[in-house]
Amino acid sequence: MPSGTPRGSQRPNLLRRDRRRWTTLLSVALLFAVVGLGLTQGAAEIPVGTVLRLFVDRLPGISIDINGPSTWETIVFDIRVPRVVAAGLVGAALAYAGAGYQGVFRNPLAGPFLLGVASGAALGASIAIVSPLPSGAYGLGWVPVFAFVGAAITVVIVYLLARSGSAVDNTTLILGGVALAAIFSAVTSFLLLTGGEDTRPIFSFLFGGFNTASWQRVLVALPYLVVGAVIVAAYARVLNVLQLDEEQAAQLGVDVTRTKLIVLGAASLIAATAVAVAGVIGFVGLIIPHVVRMFFGTDYRSVLPLAAVLGAAFLIGTDVLARTVLAPQEVPVGIVTAIAGGPFFLYLLKTRRVAGMS
Amino acid sequence: MPTRMKKHRVLWAAILLAAIVAAACSGSDDRPSQPATIATDSAGQEATTQEAADLEPDQDAGPFPLTVTDSSGADVIFEAAPERIISYSAGSTEILYAVGAQDQIIAVDRFSDFPAATADLAKLEYSSPDPEAALDLRPDLVIMVTRQEEQVAQYRDLGMRVFFLREADSLEGVIESIMEIGAITGHPSEAETLVHDLRARIDAVAAALADATEGPRVFFEVTADLYTAAPATFIGAMLSLLKAHNIAAGAETAFPQLGAEAVVAADPEVILLSDARHGESLATVRDRPGWSGISAVVNERVHPINPDIVNRPGPRIVEGLETMAMLLYPDRFGGE
């Protein structure tokens, strides 16, 4: 197995490793901080101390007095905890899948929705919403199932389009994804326009959100996310080699087509699951991998896990904004990710170079 | 050169032929045996004679000629009662039927599904309707509503008489709409009778609640992903009239989306499900994480409500008010 670790002289490498350790610790600390925010902020004004006491009370063998209504316990454990977990998982999934896509395409514009996952999922969800099927907003209703199937079908079509013989052409793959996305978005718009009075859930889906997050949905999604993540992780080294050049990688013994097929397939599985859970949330999958490479270099063995950590932190944080800025009203989180994340990303873009992209 | 010219000519001829064939086909859709124009004419005549027969003799066709200023500020002139009306909203259609103008309607938008007789009428688009389809029906009155506001000028430029009705957002507004539609269609007295009856029913509800101080906390669910109706909507206005406390009070938009946390924290005493036809019920609401302890769920006061009787600015809105009153105050309005 060829190693993709960038080799330099000993001293700067050590320094860099030291700095990397700190930034890694900082990212994890950031994740913990936003989880704390996510559990203590919300439409219901529960004092931070009470939230803490509620958690302590749950520890085995400890029982303390909670001076507050019993609904607070419900709110914290049945609503906020699953919501934070769902936002964290989806954020991690989107950023992770985005890193996988960018690794395969070596293109800074690549994101988890490049092959049409989002528009396929949106069309599937819209069909479920305008159909007379029951909505099942909280559990595993038809909407996430249709969304997942729509996303999967889209990726398969794009794949079949781009395959010629044993090779898969990047340009055809991307153009196929873009074209299919355009077609499916048009059909979704048509459904939105003609669907009558009950098309609001389509809007919700198009901007994503966690206002009806539940354990049930998280638990159903988890196996797909884990399988996808493990597969992509197994190819982290190969992705490093792939960064050189497809031809060179092939000379080094990498089966380029197979790698592309497997990594993109697994990343799409992750992205499709994320979209099925929370709707289309843009921006996370595109910018988080860039941010990670800016700070941590281009080794995919660390880019992938760090993208997951920062993606989770970013989406939990933006979801806190989504549910508090206009409380009790919700703002679709996809709008917040773009408004809050966009300027920050532009700032980074201006002050640092986009790392690791040819 | 000449051959190319010839080729062009052949091409043009082909296109022309195709166009003629297409036109003939579309014309022959309704009446295969007759040319398109004659078919429409005879249909028009039929309609006219039928109306003449239906007009009640004591109804001296109202106070025509009549000039009414519509919601766009335009003065719409009526020399006689319109006999070929297009109604572009479910609310206006229900009003037309309720004031007895049903035989003057020739087409409605596709969401007009009440009363059942609307099924036999020609159906037109609701959002961005096609003026060509309307023109083809030769209407003598087109009633457009808020959704079609941008197209009012377009329709007028095409020579159609448009009465623009900005959709009411209060009960009083609906009553005004009924009076206006009654007047311009030649049914002012029917409209007056209807309005009298509606007012009496509204007053009865208000009287029964005169001594009520604080009504129940209510969550009005529009969709299962927790879209609801804020006070600044028709539904919100009715809830205020019923002295209920709408838990969406304070939201910025008319139909805000709430978080599950906001609903659970507000602990509504009554939940009204206008999404019941999408499968939501007391059972599904109880199954939502964290919802089982909400007062409305514990006391089984989660009720389906037909959205058409609370959303549409038409006469059935009073039925909606009465239904909500019954669900919010079962003790005052004779049980659930």
pLDDT at B169: 81
pLDDT at A181: 93
Other residues' Cβ atoms within 10 Å of the Cβ of residue A11: 8
pLDDT at A12: 54
Residue B37: pLDDT band by 50, 70, 90 thresholds?
very low
Tokens standing for B297? Answer: 């769920």
Strand bridging mode B141-145 / B75-78: unpaired
Cα distance between residue A231 and residue A345, in whole Å = 29
Tell which of A54, A78, A84, A191 to mutate to test the B interface (max B CBs under 10 Å). A78
Whether residue B108 contacts residue B87, with contact meaning beta carbons closer than 8 Å, is answered with: yes
Closest CA to A90 of A232, A321, A273: A273
> Does residue B29 have a pLDDT over 80?
no
- Contacts of B304-308 with CB under 8 Å at 24 or more apart are B304/B272, B304/B273, B304/B274, B304/B276, B304/B277, B304/B280, B305/B272, B305/B273, B305/B274, B305/B276, B306/B274, B307/A197, B307/B222, B307/B274, B307/B275, B308/B90, B308/B114
> Does residue A178 have a pLDDT over 80?
yes
pLDDT at A4: 43
Cα distance between residue B215 and residue A91, in whole Å = 42
Cα distance between residue A235 and residue A256, in whole Å = 11
Residue A268 sits at the chain B interface (C-beta within 8 Å): no
pLDDT at B39: 37
Q: What is the ipTM of this complex?
A: 0.81
Enumerate the residues of chain B whose CB falls inside 8 A of the CB of residue A202. Answer: none
Cα distance between residue A188 and residue A208, in whole Å = 15
Residue A82 sits at the chain B interface (C-beta within 8 Å): yes
Averaged pLDDT of chain B: 84
Whether residue A198 contacts residue B278, with contact meaning beta carbons closer than 8 Å, is answered with: yes
Q: What percent of chain B has pLDDT over 70?
A: 81
DSSP H or E segment with residue A101: helix A81-105
Sign of CA dihedral A35, A39, A44, A48: negative
Averaged pLDDT of chain A: 86
Cα distance between residue B328 and residue B321, in whole Å = 10
Alpha-carbon torsion angle A221, A223, A226, A230, nearest 10: -140
> Does residue B42 have a pLDDT over 50?
no
From chain A residues 189-228, the ones with a CB under 8 A of any chain B CB are 193-194, 196-198, 200-201, 204, 209, 211-216
A171 or B94, higher pLDDT: B94
Q: B105-148: per-residue pLDDT in tens? A: 999 999 999 999 999 999 999 988 999 999 999 999 999 999 89
Q: B282-310: per-residue pLDDT in tens? A: 999 999 999 999 999 999 999 999 999 99
Q: B233-288: per-residue pLDDT in tens? A: 889 999 999 999 999 998 888 899 999 999 999 999 999 999 898 889 999 999 99
Cα distance between residue B271 and residue B249, in whole Å = 15
Residue A140: pLDDT band by 50, 70, 90 thresholds?
low
Whether residue A56 contacts residue A62, with contact meaning beta carbons closer than 8 Å, is answered with: yes
Enumerate the residues of chain A whose CB falls inside 8 A of the CB of residue B267. Answer: 71
Residue of A nearest to B128 (CA): A193
**Three-state SS at A327:** coil
pTM of the entire structure? 0.81
Q: What's B76's DSSP letter?
A: E
Residue B40: pLDDT band by 50, 70, 90 thresholds?
very low
Q: A63-78: per-residue pLDDT in tens? A: 888 778 888 999 999 9
Task: Give me the residue label for tokens 């994101």.
Answer: A111
Task: Give me the residue label for tokens 């036999």.
Answer: B120
Tokens standing for B275? Answer: 């999404």
Residue A356: pLDDT band by 50, 70, 90 thresholds?
low
DSSP H or E segment with residue B218: strand B217-221
> Does residue B70 have a pLDDT over 90?
yes
Residue A130 sits at the chain B interface (C-beta within 8 Å): no
> Does residue B332 have a pLDDT over 60?
yes
**Three-state SS at B246:** strand
Tokens standing for A257? Answer: 């087509």
Rounded to a whole number of angstroms, the distance from the CA of A95 to the nearest CA of chain B is 25
CB burial of residue B47 (10 Å; 0-12, 13-18, 19+) = middle
pLDDT at A344: 80
A197 or A8, higher pLDDT: A197
Residue A265 sits at the chain B interface (C-beta within 8 Å): no
Among chain B, residues having any CB pair with chain A shorter than 8 Å are: 111, 127-128, 222-227, 247-248, 250-253, 255-262, 264-267, 275, 278-280, 284, 287-290, 293, 307, 311
Q: What's A2's DSSP letter?
A: -
Other residues' Cβ atoms within 10 Å of the Cβ of residue A286: 23
Q: A146-161: per-residue pLDDT in tens? A: 999 999 999 899 988 8
pLDDT at A317: 96
> In the β-sheet with B85-87, what is the strand arrangement from edge to edge?
B122-124, B105-109, B85-87, B141-145, B162-165
Enumerate the residues of chain B whose CB falls inside 8 A of the CB of residue A82. Answer: 289
A73's CB contacts (< 8 A; 6+ apart) are A54, A66
Whether residue B311 contacts residue B198, with contact meaning beta carbons closer than 8 Å, is answered with: no
Cα distance between residue A97 and residue A286, in whole Å = 9
The 3-state DSSP composition of chain A as helix, strand, coil percent (nearest 5) reads 75, 0, 25
Whether residue A69 contacts residue B295, with contact meaning beta carbons closer than 8 Å, is answered with: no
Query: Number of A:B CB contacts under 8 A?
Result: 135
Tokens standing for A163? Answer: 């395959």
pLDDT at B162: 97
The stretches of B72-226 forming alpha helices (DSSP H) are 90-98, 131-136, 152-157, 171-184, 188-208
Enumerate the residues of chain A whose CB falls inside 8 A of the CB of residue B247. Answer: 328
Q: Which stretch, A51-55, A92-96, A250-254, has highest mean pLDDT?
A: A92-96
Angle at A24 between CA A209 and CA A214, to 5 degrees: 25
pLDDT at B32: 36
Rounded to a whole number of angstroms, the distance from the CA of A343 to the nearest CA of chain B is 25
Residue A326 sits at the chain B interface (C-beta within 8 Å): yes
> Does residue B190 have a pLDDT over 90?
yes
Cα distance between residue B251 and residue B237, in whole Å = 14
DSSP H or E segment with residue B264: helix B260-266
Q: B161-180: per-residue pLDDT in tens? A: 999 999 888 899 999 999 99
Tell which of B130, B273, B278, B298 to mutate to test the A interface (max A CBs under 10 Å). B278
Cα distance between residue B325 and residue B238, in whole Å = 9
Q: A219-244: per-residue pLDDT in tens? A: 999 999 999 999 999 999 999 998 88
